[in-house]
Amino acid sequence: MLCFHFPLPFYHFLLIIIITIIQPYYFVACVPQQYGNKTLVEFLPGFDGPLPFHLETGYIGVGESEEVQLFYYFVKSESDPRKDPILIWLTGGPGCSSITGLLYEIGPLAFAQKTFNGSLPILVSAPYSWTKFASIIFLDQPLNTGFSITSTSKCTDDLQASNYVYEFLLKWFDDHTEFISNPFYVSGDSYSGIIIPVIVQLISDGNEAANKQLINIKGYTLGNPATFPEEKNYQIPFSHGMGLIPDELYESLKENCKGDYQNISPTNELCVQYLTMFKKLVSGIYDLHILEPLCGLDSPNQQQLFGERRSLGEDFVTLKNDDSICQESRVAKLELSFYWANNPKVQEVLHVIKLYKILF
């Protein structure tokens, strides 16, 4: 994982699911503002020569008066876009821009260098892109994530965000009718594991209500997903299984905390004591990937997570250890997207709405 979206336990896995059971958990976020159209992008600052794939960017309005303008990147399959699957990619957070999926995870581009050197970061082709066999819509959501904006100051929650994505898809396919029969998947990682099942259910219900196939939904894929609030209870069994804590401490935690390490009564002094010992033992470990160095996790704009705009600012990580190991880490590489996406020439080529500096 390259975007620090959701504070998952000490593990990484890919989970592929083709079911549509819905149990949303709500997250509230507020924000601020306005419009655009689709554009074919043939050149990108930082990439040498014309792009070797079809890239389209644009805005689609959702909401009662289209007051929410959702920004997307669309990359056609490099094989047979007429028949290949099409998927929408939703990065987690909540509030991380889908540019992380485009440039760090499954897209056709990647940064050439590992750290920022003061100039515009260089882009190169990514050899293992999913666009080799599928067309992908990378969507900035919820509202005011990345380049997506709204003209109101209203708040949204997970259910509203899911409805906006569904409305976006209906309008996107209405404008791209050549893809309406392609197999379609909803995909994403981290916190999007909460909203993706809801979106799939909305698509399924919409097809049934219309008595026709509005979207050719085939399933959904989740990478390292958030699934339920009690996930963090599994940090301790995982830590024990990986040899990070001794058997004696693990047994004491199990006996005194009864498997619940989040809702602890202050009167349960032994549980509190052993949990404090546990946290001290793992405090120097990078919990998103225990085999990599701990180079810092805090965003300089963390206070905005529950306030105004949320975007790659929540991915932009401050290095805490200024040494050669951290300068070569994936954490340092995240800084590149901040400088690239905020470059005026990049924003001009992508045809984004310029209202103020985006906290990528």
Angle at 109 between CA 103 and CA 114, to 5 degrees: 65
Question: Is 319 within the bounds of a domain?
Answer: no
Answer yes or no: do 59 and 163 share one domain.
Answer: yes
Answer yes or no: do 203 and 256 share one domain.
Answer: no
CATH number where 49 lies: 3.40.50.1820
* Domain tally, the chain: 2
Give the number of other Cβ atoms within 10 Å of residue 90's Cβ. 32
Answer yes or no: do 159 and 264 share one domain.
Answer: no
Question: Is 6 within the bounds of a domain?
Answer: no
Tokens 């819905």, residue located:
22
At position 311, the amino acid (one-letter code) is: S
In the prediction, which pLDDT does 323 show? Answer: 65
Q: How far apart are CA 333 and CA 327, in angstroms?
A: 8
In the prediction, which pLDDT does 149 show? Answer: 86
Question: Is 260 within the bounds of a domain?
Answer: yes
Answer yes or no: do 143 and 271 share one domain.
Answer: no
Answer yes or no: do 116 and 56 share one domain.
Answer: yes
Answer yes or no: do 175 and 200 share one domain.
Answer: yes
Q: How far apart are CA 112 and CA 256, in angstroms?
A: 50
DSSP secondary structure string for all residues of 177-234:
GGGTTS-EEEEEEETHHHHHHHHHHHHHHHHHHHTS-SS-EEEEEEEEE---GGGGGG
In the prediction, which pLDDT does 296 show? Answer: 66
Answer yes or no: do 181 and 268 share one domain.
Answer: no
Tokens 């998952």, residue located:
8
pTM score over 0.75:
yes
- CB within 8 Å of 8: residues ≥ 6 apart: 190, 224, 226, 231, 287, 288
User: Structural domain of residue 102, as residue ranges?
Assistant: 14-229+336-350
Question: Is 147 within the bounds of a domain?
Answer: yes
Q: How far apart are CA 158 and CA 25, in angstroms?
A: 7
Question: Is 302 within the bounds of a domain?
Answer: no
In the prediction, which pLDDT does 75 show? Answer: 98
CA–chain centroid gap for 136, Å, is 14
Question: Is 237 within the bounds of a domain?
Answer: no
What residues in the chain have per-residue pLDDT under 70?
1-36, 153, 155, 296-323, 355-360
In the prediction, which pLDDT does 237 show? Answer: 94
Answer yes or no: do 150 and 215 share one domain.
Answer: yes
Among 231, 261, 237, CA closest to 250: 237
Question: Is 108 within the bounds of a domain?
Answer: yes
Answer yes or no: do 158 and 256 share one domain.
Answer: no
Boundary of a domain, candidates 237, 259, 281: 281
Question: Is 236 within the bounds of a domain?
Answer: no
3-state secondary structure 28-83: CEECCCCCCCCEEECCCCCECCCCCCCEEEEEEEECCCCCEEEEEEEECCCCCCCC
Answer yes or no: do 123 and 253 share one domain.
Answer: no
Answer yes or no: do 155 and 275 share one domain.
Answer: no
Answer yes or no: do 222 and 106 share one domain.
Answer: yes
Among 1, 2, 4, CA closest to 298: 4
Q: How far apart are CA 24 and CA 199, in angstroms?
A: 10
